[in-house]
Amino acid sequence: MSEREKAILVGCQLPHIDDERFFYSMEELASLVHTANGEVVATVTQKREAIHPATYIGKGKVEELVHLVEQTEADLVIFNDELSPSQNRNLARQLAVRIIDRTQLILDIFAQRARSKEGKLQVELAQLQYLLPRLGGQGTALSRLGGGIGTRGPGETKLETDRRHIYRRIDEIKTQLKLVAEHRERYRERRKKNRAFQISLVGYTNAGKSTLFNRLTAADSFEENLLFATLDPLTRRLILPSGYTVLLTDTVGFIQDLPTTLVAAFRSTLEEVKEADLILHIVDSSNPDYYHHEQTVYDLLDELGVASIPIVTIYNKQDIRHPHFVPSTETEAMMVSAFCADDIRRLRQFIEEMVKKQMVGYYVSIPDDEGKLLAQLKSETILHELHYNEESGMYECKGYVMPKHPLYGQLRQFQK
């Protein structure tokens, strides 16, 4: 692995942000730096009534930062808020190192994590949109692109060209993304036609979604103790205890203060959530800030307009849960550890119970020459009882079916 770059973090605490909130925001910034393969060598914070319009922090703090950069031999300074183009320029004049903000850091991680063509295009689009208003004073910075945190990404080599070229590239990417979105839509329509029950995993970044996804589906989604380990949605079949098969989708992790360019760019990767019949909200119970993480996810789900989809909460990492952790009572919930086989069994059972809540019960007698229908009951409904009645020559079946499934209408003629 390449040598870690040394970073100094800078945060400004405004009156409306309490100490605890500010502390966790800075901790999260440090985690983001770790994910981007950087090392935090110092942290500078300041309480202010308002952000300094020219330099973000006050004049004295900027001088302190100049000395700190010399002492620590830092490679870059990372600010905990999005800097305006003029703030970036003013700070660059005084500090002899690379300056990036929280938005650039998140974009950089997304650039490293994107696997699919769509993911890479989304990152490049967000990077270009972020850079456009900042092109003016970036001559020296742009000539260094391609080395270090905040400079990576599928499109970085093109950024030394003019605005016109960037506008043209943005149009090209949007056209390509439209085609990808249409392809995804066709795929979703096909899944709808097949009437598969769809479940989406959502949650704050690093809550353990991919680990649970892997344990439930035996897939090989990328899992690591890093923020934004998953970027591209991945869908796999999940077989429930009754044998009923559902589709489970892992999604990109949510985060507070997600850059606006990214919320827009990654909207389509979260479109999967809108198609779900059930949402599993995964919460990291070991994180001291779990409550705010829950709220961040709920706020973003509201923005996506999925309020009508049933949500259940899975509190993960119960083996290392925070001593002050108290489960929220807003939704049905259960506590698990992704690494406990018993918990995974209980979770499958819990998911099946939640699926059944959206179904209707049936009790039917099927003639023994209806082999195809019997096979469908086994694979496309939750079949709890099946036995052959010798007197009537009929199969008696009990189970649950989705009311929108074609079988629902078919079964009515065999209802007991």
Q: pLDDT digits over 223-233, tens only?
A: 555 555 555 56
- For residues 31 and 68, membership in a common domain is answered with yes
260 with 173, same domain? no
Between strands 197-203 and 98-101, the pairing is unpaired
Residue 187: pLDDT above 80?
no
* Residue (of 279, 361, 276) closest to 312 by Cα position: 279
Q: CA 172, 140, 93: angle at the middle one, nearest 5?
A: 125
pLDDT at residue 152 is higher than 70: no
Report yes or no: 174 and 180 within 8 Å, Cβ to Cβ: no
Q: What percentage of the chain reaches a pLDDT higher than 90?
A: 30
Binding site residue list: 203-210, 228-232, 250-253, 316-319
Give the sign of the dihedral formed by CA 164, CA 154, CA 255, CA 47. Answer: negative
The two three-digit tokens of residue 239, written as one number: 């077989």
Q: Domain tally for the chain?
A: 4
Residues 318 and 392 in one domain: no
Quick one: pLDDT at residue 349?
Answer: 94
**79/226 same-domain check:** no
pLDDT of residue 196: 81
Tokens 């300094």, residue located: 52
Contact between 42 and 8 (Cβ < 8 Å): yes
Kind and range of the H or E run holding 12: strand 5-13
- The CA distances from residue 21 to 26, 49, 164, 288, in Å, are 9, 16, 41, 11
Least confident stretch, 25-34, 255-264, 352-361, 397-406? 255-264
- Mean per-residue pLDDT over the chain, rounded: 83
What CATH number is given to the structural domain containing 9?
3.40.50.11060
Instruction: Please measure the distance between the N-terminal and C-terminal CA atoms of the chain and give it in whole angstroms.
Output: 66
Could you tell me how far CA 342 lies from the centroid of its own chain? 26
Are residue 177 and residue 208 in the same domain, yes or no?
no
Same-domain pairing of 98 and 22:
yes
343 and 218 in one domain? Answer: yes
* 206 and 335 share one domain: yes
Distance, CA of 392 to CA of 364 (rounded, Å): 13
**pTM (2 decimals)?**
0.76
> What values do phi and psi take at 202, rounded to 5?
-130, 165
Annotated binding site for Mg(2+): 210, 230
SS3 170: helix
Same structural domain, 130 and 229 = no
Confidence of residue 280 (pLDDT cuts 50, 70, 90): very high
The domain in which residue 376 lies consists of 359-412
**pLDDT tens sequence across 49-68:** 999 999 999 999 999 999 99
- 172 lies in the same domain as 277: no
Q: Phi-psi bin for 73: left (phi > 0), alpha (psi -120 to 50), beta?
A: left
State whether 264 and 159 are in the same domain: no
pLDDT (0 to 100) of residue 223: 56
Last residue of a domain, one of 337, 356, 375: 356
Look at residues 310, 329, 356 and tell me which one is the last residue of a structural domain.
Answer: 356
Which is higher by pLDDT, 255 or 202?
A: 202
Answer whether residue 69 shows pLDDT above 80.
Answer: yes
* pLDDT mean over 329-342: 85
**Shared-domain flag, residues 22 and 166:** no
Q: List residues forming the annotated binding site for GTP.
A: 203-210, 228-232, 250-253, 316-319
* Section 296-300 average pLDDT: 85
pLDDT digits (tens, 9 = 90+) for 163-186: 788 888 999 999 998 888 788 778
Which of 57, 91, 112 is at the close of a domain?
Answer: 112
